[in-house]
Amino acid sequence: MGHHEKLPLLLYDEECSLCSRFADLIKRTPQNPPLFCIPLQEESLYEEFTFLDKEKCKQEVHLIDKNLQVHVGKDCLNYLAKHSPYVEKISWLLDTKMGDKATAIFYNSLNRIRTFVTRECESCKKTP
């Protein structure tokens, strides 16, 4: 079975402990539609979805929706929030200017933490 049957698809860095824990949380959280997580290290992704750039996927979180639209960074966070039953009732806030700014700040903070964790993580032994 190819990855097209598993859309929407969240790509995560399995070598990053923070990213792996986030993917585990997503797997346990009900989503509508269901969301599949796959490590960005899986080479078959780039063969099937030729529009993906592996280096860009390493830098920021990517999500491919059912329409093959790619959500990157804070747009990915918006997508996740809007499809979560926990956020559903207040998701209209995300469509405001202030909501967009708050999402951007939140995502940028998370990405800085991910970069720091990846740089300092003894098990990763890699630099961003």
Q: Which of these, 48, 47, 80, 44, lies nearest to 62 by C-alpha position?
A: 80
Q: Does residue 60 lie within any of the structural domains?
A: yes
Query: What one-letter code names the amino acid at 100?
Result: D
Q: Which residues contact 4 (CB under 8 A, 6 or more apart)?
A: 48
Q: Does residue 64 lie within any of the structural domains?
A: yes
Q: What range defines the domain where residue 74 resides?
A: 3-120
Q: Which residues contact 57 (CB under 8 A, 6 or more apart)?
A: 11, 40
Q: What is the pLDDT of residue 22?
A: 82
Q: Does residue 91 lie within any of the structural domains?
A: yes
Q: Does residue 101 lie within any of the structural domains?
A: yes
Report how far residue 64's alpha carbon sits from residue 113's, in angstroms, rounded to the nearest whole number: 23
Q: Which helix (H) or strand (E) holds 10?
A: strand 9-12
Q: How confident is the model at residue 128 (pLDDT cuts 50, 70, 90)?
A: very low
User: Helices 97-120 & 74-82, crossing angle to 10 degrees?
Assistant: 110
Report how far residue 87's alpha carbon sits from residue 93's, in angstroms, rounded to the nearest whole number: 10
Q: Does residue 77 lie within any of the structural domains?
A: yes
pTM metric for this prediction: 0.69
pLDDT digit string, tens, across residues 3-36? 778 899 999 999 888 788 888 888 887 777 788 9
Q: What is the pLDDT of residue 11?
A: 93
* Strand 9-12 relative to strand 70-72, pairing: unpaired
Helix, strand, or coil (residue 33) = coil
pLDDT digit string, tens, across residues 73-122? 888 877 887 776 655 555 555 566 766 665 556 556 566 655 655 555 55
Q: Does residue 93 lie within any of the structural domains?
A: yes
Domain total in the chain: 1
